[in-house]
């Protein structure tokens, strides 16, 4: 993808925000037990959950091992395809919270949301039979606009 001048300048100013996490799609929760499984994610440091256009995703803060100390990509020529396909116009540096439907960074936020939505406390999930498990991510590719971006010392914006 050919880079525009604005994108190139932005990447040289940004601390590589897009190379410091991964986000993966979840099965959308339906039951109290489903929400309780997602609550488990939110009990872990570095995990957050967001809902975008009705679809649920888990986001994990994790610095890419290829990110150099100067915040440029150390494997630019062989970077994963997902990095090269990232659209510079809607990146983390510019787009902020993306206008998510919901964004949870702590289990208590999800507990309050579920109580409003279902009228039951999540604690009741302990006595609810499990229909299916959503604590695992769906094994699909893509999902979520927030994906890592490619950076290079020679061509610093992607």
| Residues near ligand SF4, by CB under 6 A | 10-11, 14, 16-19, 64, 66-67, 73, 75, 79-80, 83, 88, 91-93, 148-151, 157
Nearest to ligand SF4 of 110, 147 (CB atom): 147
What is the smallest separation between the CB atom of 101 and ligand SF4, expressed in angstroms?
22
What is the smallest separation between the CB atom of 45 and ligand SF4, expressed in angstroms?
21
Nearest to ligand SF4 of 43, 95 (CB atom): 95
What is the smallest separation between the CB atom of 52 and ligand SF4, expressed in angstroms?
17
What is the smallest separation between the CB atom of 77 and ligand SF4, expressed in angstroms?
10
For the chain, list the strands marked E by DSSP. 21-25, 47-52, 55-61, 102-104
Look up residue 66 and give its DSSP letter.
T
Nearest to ligand SF4 of 80, 121 (CB atom): 80
Nearest to ligand SF4 of 34, 147 (CB atom): 147
Specify the residue for token string 């950076």: 151
């Amino acid at each position: 993808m050919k880079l525009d001048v604005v994108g190139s300048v932005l990447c040289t100013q940004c601390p590589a925000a897009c190379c410091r996490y991964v986000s993966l799609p979840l099965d959308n929760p339906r039951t109290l037990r489903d929400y309780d499984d997602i609550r488990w994610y939110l009990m872990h440091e570095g995990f957050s959950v967001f809902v975008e256009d009705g679809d649920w995703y888990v986001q994990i803060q994790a610095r890419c091992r290829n990110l150099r100390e100067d915040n440029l990509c150390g494997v630019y020529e062989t970077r994963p395809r997902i990095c090269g396909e990232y659209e510079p116009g809607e990146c983390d540096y510019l787009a902020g919270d993306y206008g998510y439907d919901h964004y949870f960074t702590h289990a208590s936020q999800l507990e309050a949301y579920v109580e409003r939505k279902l009228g039951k406390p999540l604690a009741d999930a302990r006595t609810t039979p499990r229909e299916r498990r959503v604590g695992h991510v769906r094994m699909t590719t893509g999902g979520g606009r927030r994906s890592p971006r490619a950076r290079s010392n020679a061509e610093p914006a992607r």
